[in-house]
């Protein structure tokens, strides 16, 4: 009886893992870029996944202060751009997150000093 | 005759006594005047010189080997821990980071504009349906008339602060290295029908990273990629 219960638990565990796998975002090409021109930060993210609805939010942070936020939605290929005033010598972090066909994703941050 | 076992110290004492009595039986060193032949002396000197040279060479080689090992080890540690050091050697890196495959581009910023590329081949009936273009990024969507099949073709200028990452459920997803016009590229096959194939080409010489994301077959994607050419070259 103990063995049967253990087998059932194992099978359920495996099934739950496969369910998570099925829901996950796959093969999405994300290109975030942060550049400075003088005291203006230029932020951009391009996200491609053919056949999907893409929603993304772009945030620019200086430490724990949010200095800019931009977002957009498009099918197949989304580019979100934004610019804002920054301070020379300060370090800024660009964060990207959103959803692909309703499944959330978070991108790797880009950190640069103005 | 006495039989029985001896302790180690007894044996040591006995050996020392035998050694002393043998040494006492020998004449003193000053009485042992013997002159060896000149040829023997020469041979011995040669042997001593040879051994001395060999020892010096061995010592020097050991020093060189140790220096090489230290240099290799330090370089390895430096390159592994310092991204800038890696950037000096390569303009990009492929890393697996928190469920994503990340291409980190290190090339320094230059004032050169983004080259104009075009596709010299694509499946029949495909047309551009969307385009985004700026100084460092070109991104276009091509689709067939039904809108069921299509691909995104993009290229980005390699410069500091740019990352390209391909999200995967499992970063260990098997990928395949393929050669596109002499450049090694990575093809990430789709895992199921809801996923899409992805091809990433980092052309260091051109300073451009290309990507094709599509629900088309691998052979078609590779054919499209082989047709990427500089716009002015095709005219």
**Using the beta-carbon criterion (under 8 Å), do A27 and B166 form an inter-chain contact?**
yes
**Using the beta-carbon criterion (under 8 Å), do B167 and A44 form an inter-chain contact?**
no
**Using the beta-carbon criterion (under 8 Å), do B198 and A112 form an inter-chain contact?**
no
The answer to whether A58 and A36 are in contact (CB under 8 A) is no
- pLDDT at position B233 over 80: no
H or E, element range at A108: none
User: What percent of chain A shows pLDDT beyond 70?
Assistant: 76
Pick the residue of B114, B163, B189 with the most A CBs within 10 A to test the interface with A by mutation. Answer: B163
Positive/negative CA dihedral, B178, B179, B184, B185: negative
Residue of B97, B192, B213 lying closest to A49 (CB–CB)? B213
- What's the rounded mean pLDDT across residues A25-52? 86
- pLDDT at position A19 over 50: no
- Per mean pLDDT, which range of A53-57, B72-76, B98-102, B193-197 is the poorest? B98-102
pLDDT confidence of B79, banded at 50, 70, 90? low
- What's the rounded mean pLDDT across residues B108-123? 81
**Using the beta-carbon criterion (under 8 Å), do B139 and A77 form an inter-chain contact?**
yes
pTM of this prediction exceeds 0.95: no
User: What percent of chain B shows pLDDT beyond 70?
Assistant: 82
Q: How close does chain A come to B114, measured CA to CA in Å?
A: 15
Q: Other CB atoms closer than 10 Å to residue B220's CB: what's the count? A: 17
Q: Phi, psi (5° rounding) for residue B25?
A: -75, -20
Q: Which residue of A has its CA nearest to B190?
A: A27
The answer to whether B157 and B105 are in contact (CB under 8 A) is no
Task: Give the pLDDT score at A6.
Answer: 63
Per-residue b/e over B74-92, b at no fewer than 16 CB within 10 Å? eeeeeeeeeeeebbeeebb
Average pLDDT, chain B: 83
- pLDDT at position B234 over 70: no
pLDDT confidence of B2, banded at 50, 70, 90? low
Task: Give the pLDDT score at B125.
Answer: 92
User: Which are the contacts of B95, defined by CB distance < 8 A and separation ≥ 6?
Assistant: B101, B102, B103, B104
SS3 A40: strand
pLDDT confidence of A17, banded at 50, 70, 90? very low
Calculate ∠ Cα A61-A28-B94, nearest 5°: 80
Rounded Cα distance between B188 and B213, Å, is 10
What does chain B look like in DSSP terms, one character per residue? Answer: ---S---HHHHHHHHHHHHHHHHHHSPPGGG---PPPHHHHHHHHHHHHHHHHHHHHHHHHHHHHHHHHHHHHHHHHHHHH-HHHHHHH-SEEEEEETTEEEEEE-PPP-SPPPPPEEES---TT-EEEEEEE-SSEEEEEEE-TTSSSEEEEEEEE--TTEEEEEE-S-TT---EEEEETTEEEEEE--SSTTS-EEEEEEETTTTEEEEEEESS-HHHHHHHHHTEEEGGG--
- What's the rounded mean pLDDT across residues B121-127? 93
**Using the beta-carbon criterion (under 8 Å), do B169 and A21 form an inter-chain contact?**
yes
**Using the beta-carbon criterion (under 8 Å), do A27 and B215 form an inter-chain contact?**
no
pLDDT confidence of A21, banded at 50, 70, 90? very low
Residue of B102, B134, B168 lying closest to A27 (CB–CB)? B168
* Residue range B21-76, pLDDT digits in tens: 998 888 887 777 778 888 998 999 999 999 999 999 999 999 999 998 888 888 77
Task: Give the pLDDT score at B207.
Answer: 82
**Using the beta-carbon criterion (under 8 Å), do B136 and A112 form an inter-chain contact?**
no
Residue of B139, B150, B169 lying closest to A24 (CB–CB)? B169
* Residue range B7-36, pLDDT digits in tens: 999 999 999 999 999 988 888 877 777 788
pLDDT confidence of B132, banded at 50, 70, 90? very high
Residue of A27, A33, A107 lying closest to B198 (CB–CB)? A27
List CB contacts (< 8 A) between A41 and chain B.
none
The answer to whether B185 and B177 are in contact (CB under 8 A) is yes
The first and second tokens of residue A114, run together, are 């103005």
**Using the beta-carbon criterion (under 8 Å), do B211 and A48 form an inter-chain contact?**
yes
- pLDDT at position B170 over 90: no
Q: How close does chain B come to A23, measured CA to CA in Å?
A: 9
SS3 A76: strand
User: What percent of chain B shows pLDDT beyond 90?
Assistant: 43
Task: Give the pLDDT score at A110.
Answer: 87
**Using the beta-carbon criterion (under 8 Å), do B198 and A29 form an inter-chain contact?**
yes
Residue of B97, B100, B139 lying closest to A48 (CB–CB)? B139
* Residue range B185-204, pLDDT digits in tens: 989 888 777 778 889 998 88
- pLDDT at position B222 over 60: yes
- pLDDT at position A58 over 90: yes
């Amino acid at each position: 009886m103990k063995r049967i219960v253990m087998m059932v638990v194992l099978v359920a565990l495996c099934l739950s893992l496969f369910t998570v796998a099925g829901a996950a975002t796959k093969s999405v090409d994300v290109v975030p870029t942060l550049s400075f021109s003088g005291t203006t930060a230029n932020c951009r993210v391009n996200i491609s996944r053919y056949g999907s609805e893409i929603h993304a939010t772009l945030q620019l942070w200086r430490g724990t202060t949010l200095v800019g936020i931009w977002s957009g939605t498009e099918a197949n290929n989304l580019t979100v751009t934004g610019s804002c005033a920054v301070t020379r010598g300060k370090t800024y972090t660009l964060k990207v997150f959103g959803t692909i066909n309703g499944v959330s994703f978070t991108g790797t941050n880009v950190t640069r000093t103005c | 005759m006495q039989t029985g076992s001896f302790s180690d110290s007894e044996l040591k004492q006995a050996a020392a006594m035998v050694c002393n009595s043998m040494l006492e039986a020998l004449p003193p060193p000053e009485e042992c005047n013997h002159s060896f032949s000149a040829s023997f002396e020469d041979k011995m000197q040669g042997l001593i010189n040879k051994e001395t040279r060999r020892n010096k060479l061995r010592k020097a080689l050991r020093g060189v080997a140790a220096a090489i090992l230290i240099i290799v080890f330090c370089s390895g540690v430096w390159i592994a821990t310092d991204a800038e050091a890696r950037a000096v050697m390569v303009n990009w890196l492929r890393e697996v980071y928190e469920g994503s495959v990340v291409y980190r581009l290190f090339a320094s910023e230059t004032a050169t504009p983004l080259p104009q590329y075009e596709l010299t081949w694509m499946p029949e009936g495909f047309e551009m349906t969307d385009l985004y273009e700026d100084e460092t990024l070109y991104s276009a969507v091509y689709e067939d008339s039904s809108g069921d099949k299509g691909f995104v073709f993009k290229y980005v200028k390699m410069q500091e602060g740019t990352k390209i990452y391909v999200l995967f459920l499992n970063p260990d997803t098997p990928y395949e290295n393929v050669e596109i016009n002499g450049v090694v590229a990575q093809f990430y096959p789709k895992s199921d029908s809801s996923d899409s194939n992805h091809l990433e080409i980092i052309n260091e010489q051109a300073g451009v990273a290309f990507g094709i994301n599509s629900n088309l077959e691998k052979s078609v994607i590779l054919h499209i990629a082989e047709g990427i050419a500089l716009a002015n070259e095709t005219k």
